[in-house]
Amino acid sequence: MRLFFVLISFMLISCTNDYEDFTENFDDYVPTSLKTENVIILVIDGPRMSETWNEPNKQYIPDRIKLMQEGVLISNFMNKGTTLTVSGHSSILNGTYENLDNNGTETPINPSLFQYFLKDKKLPNDKAWIIASKSKLKVLANCTDPKWKDQYLPKIDTGNANNTNRTDVLTIESFKNTLTKSSPNLVMINLKDVDIAGHENNWDGYIEAIKNTDRQIKEVWDFIQSDANYKDKTTLIVTNDHGRHDDDNGGFQSHGDKCKGCQHIEFFAIGPDFKKNTIINLGNYEQKDIAKTIGILLNFPLENSDGKVIKDIFINPYFIR
Ligand SMILES: [Zn+2]
Ligand SMILES: [Zn+2]
């Protein structure tokens, strides 16, 4: 019996030490036991947290509340860069804050996680996709870094060639068709309707769009879980490019500065490697940390990213080199 206790104590001590070693050097370790093979990033363009997770009754996000049983939420997640659409999406994709022209005429400097992923895995272009309602996001498929420019580019689908936006309903349909046809491993979806209604100063339309995107999150997750190529090996990350001004700084119609309403954004994720039914407010995690976290999930390096891994959302923080 005494030997048993000695053994247990020894195991506990060694676990504690391992844990400290591994978490301290988290970024340097490559996971061997993660289940994620595909990552879908769903960017809802420009809701405020005050109408989503921080609405007192959470009445506009009933499907997220149900999905929370399987998901993890970071309640203090921030965009600390430029709170505009092109720059926000670019930070999500390349893990750095770049201040880009918001008309879609300026290509990011740094390569995107699509490029890192396709190169590292030696995969064809149709395994990585940008599927967007806003056509200006095409500019995020490439970069100006001469080591990466015009290489390992993802496929882009914004619905049409003539640079007009399409509805979120059509974007979701296109996402489903692409999953069925190409079986991509890495996808970013952009949904625009919330942002457009906000800019039109249309409160009812803005709220309606928030409810629609809530349904669409569930629609995307149900579709993933109904496809044998994706079920139980796919991580869905729901986030925003930016919020909108809080009421003391201009209100919901616009966005683009550093007020809390513009900077505070959603990070809600579901996947086989993440904690479930958990809310996290530790770690000062921010928008540029998403890319490196996906690098850990799919096991590829992002040399130019200066974000950190969002280690507190993982079920198992033990990683082996
Ligand atoms: Zn936006
Ligand atoms: Zn603001």
CATH of the domain at 225: 3.40.720.10
In this prediction, residue 28 has a pLDDT band, given cuts at 50, 70 and 90, of: low
Quick one: 104 exposed, middle or buried, by C-beta within 10 A (0-12, 13-18, 19+)? middle
Ligand 2 center–CA 255 separation, angstroms: 5
Exposure string (b/e) for 242-276, b if CB count within 10 Å is 16 or more? bbbbbeeebebebbbeebebbbbbbbbbbbbbbbe
Whether the pLDDT of residue 291 is over 90: the answer is yes
Q: Ligand 2 centre from 89 Cα, in Å?
A: 17
Structure-token match 């203090």, residue found? 76
* CA 239 – ligand 2 centroid, Å: 17
| Consecutive H or E run containing 280 | strand 278-280
Q: What's the gap in Å between 195 CA and the centre of ligand 2? A: 14
State the distance between the two ends of the chain, measured CA to CA, in whole angstroms: 36
- Cβ contacts of 173 within 8 Å, gap of 6 or more: none
Residue 30's pLDDT is 54
**Is position 270 within any domain?**
yes
Residue type, 233: K
Phi/psi for 152 (5° steps) reads: 55, 45
Inside any domain, residue 321:
no
What is the rounded radius of gyration, in angstroms, for the C-alpha atoms of the chain? 20
Q: Which residue has the higher pLDDT, 50 or 20?
A: 50
Query: What tens digit of pLDDT does each residue of 88-119 get?
Result: 999 999 999 999 999 999 999 999 999 999 99
The answer to whether residue 214 sits within a structural domain is: yes
pLDDT tier at 319 (50, 70, 90 boundaries)?
low
Distance CA 223, CA 214 (A): 14
With a cut of 50, say whether residue 18 has pLDDT above it.
Answer: no
Nearest ligand, measured from the Cα of 89: 1
Least distant ligand from the CA of 47: 1
CA 265 to centroid of ligand 2, rounded, Å: 12
- pLDDT value at position 316? 83
pLDDT tens string 234-278: 999 999 999 999 999 999 999 999 999 999 999 999 999 999 999
- Give the closest ligand to the alpha carbon of residue 102: 1
Ligand nearest to the CA of 46: 1
| Ramachandran area for residue 199 (φ above 0: left; ψ -120 to 50: alpha; else beta) | alpha
Q: Alpha-carbon distance 225 to 16, whole Å? A: 35
Note whether residue 300 is domain-resident.
yes
* Angle value at C-alpha 97, between 198 and 263, nearest 5 degrees: 40
Residue 233 lies in a domain: yes
**Nearest bound ligand to CA 254?**
2
Question: Is 15 part of a structural domain of the chain?
Answer: no
Domain-located, residue 258: yes
**What count of other Cβ atoms lies within 10 Å of the Cβ of residue 84?**
21
Range 24-31 average pLDDT: 53
CA separation for the pair 201, 305 (Å, rounded): 36
Tell me the mean pLDDT in the region 42-71: 98
Distance CA 175, CA 187 (A): 9
Give the chain's domain count.
1
> Ligand 2 mean position to 252 CA, how many Å?
9
Examine the pLDDT at 317 and tell me if it is beyond 90.
no
In a domain? residue 10: no
The parent domain of residue 81 ranges over 31-313
Share of the chain above pLDDT 90, in %: 85
Name the helix (H) or strand (E) containing 235: strand 234-239
Nearest ligand by distance to the CA of 165: 1
pLDDT at 45 over 80: yes
Tell how far the Cα of 259 is from the centroid of ligand 2, in angstroms: 4
